Amino acid sequence: MTTAPVLHVDPSRAGSPRVEPPRFEHHREPLGIGESAPRLSWTVLAGLPGWLQRAYEIEIADESGTVLTATGAVESERSVLVPWPGAELGSRERRGVRVRVHGHDGSASDWSPWSWAETGLLEAASWHAGAAAPPPELLGAPDGPAPLLRRDFAVRGPVASARLYVTAHGLYEVEINGTAVGDDVLAPGWTSYGHRLRYRTHDVTALLREGANAVGATLADGWYRGRLGFLGGKTGVYGDRTALVAQLEITYADGTAERVVTDGGWRCASGPVTAASLYDGEAHDARLLPDGWSSPGFDDGAWLPADVLDHDPALLVAPTGPPVRRTGTLAPVEVLTGPDGETILDFGQNISGRLRIRVQGPAGHTVSLRHAEVLEGGALSLRPLRDAAALDRYTLRGDGSAEEWEPRFTVHGFRYAQVIDWPGELEPGDVEAVVCHTDMRRTGAFTCSDPLLNRLHENVLWSMRGNFVDIPTDCPQRDERLGWTGDIQVFAPAASFLYDCAGMLSSWLADLSAEQAEVGTVPHYVPWIDLLFPAEPAAAWGDAAVIVPWVLHQRFGDLGVLRAQYAGMKAWVDQVAALTRKNLWDEGFQFGDWLDPASPPDQPGRSLTDHVLVATAYHAWSARILADTARLLGHDEDAERYAELASAVRAAFRDEFVTPSGRLACDTQTAYALALHLDLLEGPGQRERAGRRLVELVARDDHRIATGFVGTPLVCDALASVGAHDTAYRLLTQRECPSWLYPVTMGATTVWERWDSLLPDGSVNPGEMTSFNHYALGAVADFLHRTVAGLAPAAPGYRRLRVAPRPGGGLTHASAELHTPYGPASVAWTMVRTVAGETLTVTVTVPPGTVAELDLPCEGDLPEEVGAGTHTFTGPYRP
């Protein structure tokens, strides 16, 4: 039986299109932006089937509502990252923008609501603040006490508006008149401080009052001066003095303005935070908090004057993404007693964050909180933390009332916490876990009929939350938490689906370029710290310079990121080309297919797949992406040159590793995954043979995974590309170790670094690389989105969608939803099995302004493309 496709249009949504408030660049909160010509995007809500934009109009107004720019109708289908049509903005300028659209069908919208953006300080000359540094005697050794800084100031009349522009060498929290400014965590975040230091702009109008006012800050070492890195790490990476850079600008109702800046007039003293380390934790003695220190009238006569240090305002940059924030809280799911009678709280979920306690007890009593990701023998397993103590301590004020505390300058990766020396009975509600990470907008969701796959997806999501902590890190718990390039290179596609991470990753890429230019290659992690190993080129890691910008362009439609990264992309490919011999990258250090299941616990890089094969395959891939990028940017000569390079490397790969019939000299899942997915083979004959061999290899491994960081994101795609969906599903749904679902069966709530971070007997893997929160192997989530559910981009920014679900693995339904830059898209399929056969029903939602290519495995007279709207197709399943 064949059912003709039916078009459903929700009648309540029919009518003329509506435009949502426009967006500026990738900002969630466009206050203090750094772009003088911010690109604009808008989403159209249209109940009209097949709606496509024909033209847009933009109006830009100033604060008084005067329209400064009116584009009139611009014939264009663009609605994502449209060039700023107005005059370039200077510092502190506020503009409203609204948009109206016209459809090809003759429809027209009303004006959208106004959206407002305000620039920060765009040029160095706008900065008048010095770097106010507490005197050295208040600092102590790195990761020691966090001093306080303050000053009084007067507000001499009614205030129209006030802005605080603020950053620090170190971590800061600011208060005005006793109230915290903003809700950022770990501000200013971690950038390559020698090149770029982010500041934030806060609207503090409501915190000021006429007359006496005070501003205060707490300053911890953080990434600037605290210990960073593995194997003992390093302290003082960026300097040995922390400092606050703050500029408060007050605009009075009468139009006059005044500034309060960090200078030698600020006074400093030690405060309640007696130690603060990102790795080791924080110690807070509440008895040491000077009452009212950030309010006016406080006597700071005994405080020491701040030193004013040199700093370069040209390094100060506005954020391009959201800050780290508290994004949720978790109550303990169980209170456990450890083997020595210790009290351990289980929060049921591995997170990055910290605890908030409510405690009452005698003055001077100290409560300690120790964190771990897993238990071993019922006790906290601390070995995976390596050299990170993850221990917070709170000493009570003890004034008879309940005291609330949460550390402010540290973050831990944990699911369990041991509570040591709690005074009296620990009551439910006394301790909660606070989840902290970059506050990105959630955009993607996936679900299917297999609860284990759903939990795997949930674990990937939590590993993203656990590791997008201002920079994309490898792990949140041990003495590392570095921006490892290889990890985000493989995870970027999944990440770009789950959250809008374009702004955050663009910032990180700017640091990557800065470090690359300084150290002469793409370092292994960004920001780079010189530890024991030199910065040397390594395939799949260094290729992040090329692949991450490309992924952002594909997923967010951002050509600007390619433009910004182009020089670095080129420098990387050129550098590798110079390292190759006859186009094979066969010399020097490589991570290879890091941590494949065959690599011994103490040798994570001893994977089965030839490092030269991995490196050469990646070189071909990056050269090809670079050629495509050059073409998009109009660098035609480059486009030609890199296309030639890509095909020469591809040919060299085949000469060295591929037999004429399509077998590989290296007989591993990863080798075949690379060759197939990166299109390194010649003709259908080789592909078909290689595909068959990959299927054989997976079967030989009993359908267990045999790939590491490099092969894992590709193997299912490679299988699917040769039609071996069944094998891909068997890999995907395998539960025995090693597999994606093995950790799920072991109770994992995040993705592990190793396939067997926890061994089948419940003991922790004896290797050094044993994190329980590493997103790299979770890159497979992108396959769940694109192939299992069937929602993939077919043009940058999902301007075209590819809807090609491939049911299998016994699933009876799967769906994916995504807030694309054009609006919400979704694909949901269900399979009904009857004696007569299997019937597939697919429902597709296509955002206004886009078109979806359909490739559905069901019989019927199906269209090849559909336009905006919600469409349902039903027919006999034909795989």
CB of 792 to ligand RAM, least distance (A): 26
- Judged by beta carbon, residue 277 or residue 771, the one nearer ligand RAM is 771
236: left (phi over 0), alpha (psi -120 to 50) or beta: left
Name residues contacting ligand RAM, limited to 771-790 (CB under 6 A): 774
Q: Applying CB under 6 A, which part among 74-82, 479-487, 718-726, 798-806 lies near ligand RAM?
A: 479-487
Residue of 190, 409, 468, 484 interacting with ligand RAM (CB under 6 A): 484
Q: Compute the distance between CA of residue 116 and CA of residue 872 in angstroms, rounded to an integer.
A: 39
CB 620 within 8 A of CB 680: yes
Among 122, 57, 63, 56, smallest CA distance to 96 is for 63
535: Cβ contacts below 8 Å, ≥ 6 apart = 515, 519, 520, 521, 523, 524, 528
Q: How many residues bind ligand RAM (CB under 6 A)?
A: 10
Among 405, 413, 544, smallest CA distance to 480 is for 413
Tokens of 100: 């109206």
- Judged by beta carbon, residue 486 or residue 847, the one nearer ligand RAM is 486
- Judged by beta carbon, residue 245 or residue 769, the one nearer ligand RAM is 769
- Judged by beta carbon, residue 39 or residue 606, the one nearer ligand RAM is 606
755: left (phi over 0), alpha (psi -120 to 50) or beta: alpha
CB of 508 to ligand RAM, least distance (A): 15
CB of 774 to ligand RAM, least distance (A): 6
Q: What does each C-alpha distance from 132 to 149, 174, 213, 227 come to in angstroms?
A: 8, 13, 19, 22
By CB under 6 A, residue 543 contacts ligand RAM: no
Residue of 173, 175, 480, 817 interacting with ligand RAM (CB under 6 A): 480
CB of 485 to ligand RAM, least distance (A): 8
Among 75, 17, 9, 66, smallest CA distance to 42 is for 17
Q: Compute the distance between CA of residue 602 and CA of residue 597 in angstroms, rounded to an integer.
A: 12
- Judged by beta carbon, residue 220 or residue 475, the one nearer ligand RAM is 475
- Judged by beta carbon, residue 41 or residue 773, the one nearer ligand RAM is 773
618: Cβ contacts below 8 Å, ≥ 6 apart = 539, 540, 543, 710
Residue of 474, 511, 593, 756 interacting with ligand RAM (CB under 6 A): 474
CB 260 within 8 A of CB 153: yes
**In sequence order, what are the beta bridge partners of 581?**
584
Exactly one of 25, 118, 753, 817 is catalytic; name it. 753
Q: Compute the distance between CA of residue 801 and CA of residue 364 in angstroms, rounded to an integer.
A: 62
CB of 472 to ligand RAM, least distance (A): 11
By CB under 6 A, residue 672 contacts ligand RAM: no
**In sequence order, what are the beta bridge partners of 96?**
61, 116
Active site residue 432: no
Active site residue 480: yes
By CB under 6 A, residue 475 contacts ligand RAM: yes
Among 193, 161, 186, 468, smallest CA distance to 317 is for 193
Exactly one of 118, 480, 515, 817 is catalytic; name it. 480
Q: What is the 3-state secondary structure (H, E, C) of 449-518?
A: CCHHHHHHHHHHHHHHHHHEECEECCCCCCCCCCCEHHHHHHHHHHHHHHECCHHHHHHHHHHHHHHHHH
Residue of 199, 591, 618, 672 interacting with ligand RAM (CB under 6 A): 591
Q: What are phi and psi of 551, to 5 degrees?
A: -60, -45
- Judged by beta carbon, residue 532 or residue 578, the one nearer ligand RAM is 532
CB of 694 to ligand RAM, least distance (A): 25
End-to-end CA distance of the chain: 16
Residue of 118, 432, 487, 500 interacting with ligand RAM (CB under 6 A): 487
- Judged by beta carbon, residue 553 or residue 774, the one nearer ligand RAM is 774
Residue of 405, 422, 594, 621 interacting with ligand RAM (CB under 6 A): 594
Name residues contacting ligand RAM, limited to 728-747 (CB under 6 A): none
CB of 487 to ligand RAM, least distance (A): 5
CB of 156 to ligand RAM, least distance (A): 54
Among 567, 573, 578, 580, smallest CA distance to 517 is for 567
Q: Applying CB under 6 A, which part among 215-223, 473-481, 613-621, 655-663 lies near ligand RAM?
A: 473-481
Q: Compute the distance between CA of residue 624 and CA of residue 573 in angstroms, rounded to an integer.
A: 10
- Judged by beta carbon, residue 23 or residue 774, the one nearer ligand RAM is 774
Q: Compute the distance between CA of residue 78 and CA of residue 128 in angstroms, rounded to an integer.
A: 40
CB of 539 to ligand RAM, least distance (A): 12
CB of 486 to ligand RAM, least distance (A): 5
Q: Are strands 31-33 and 334-337 parallel, antiparallel or unpaired?
A: unpaired
By CB under 6 A, residue 373 contacts ligand RAM: no
By CB under 6 A, residue 486 contacts ligand RAM: yes
What stretches of 760-848 show up as alpha helix (H) in DSSP? 781-783
Give SS3 for 855.
Answer: coil
- Judged by beta carbon, residue 431 or residue 460, the one nearer ligand RAM is 460
Site residues for ligand RAM per CB under 6 A? 474-475, 480, 484, 486-487, 591, 594, 769, 774
Residues labelled catalytic = 480, 753
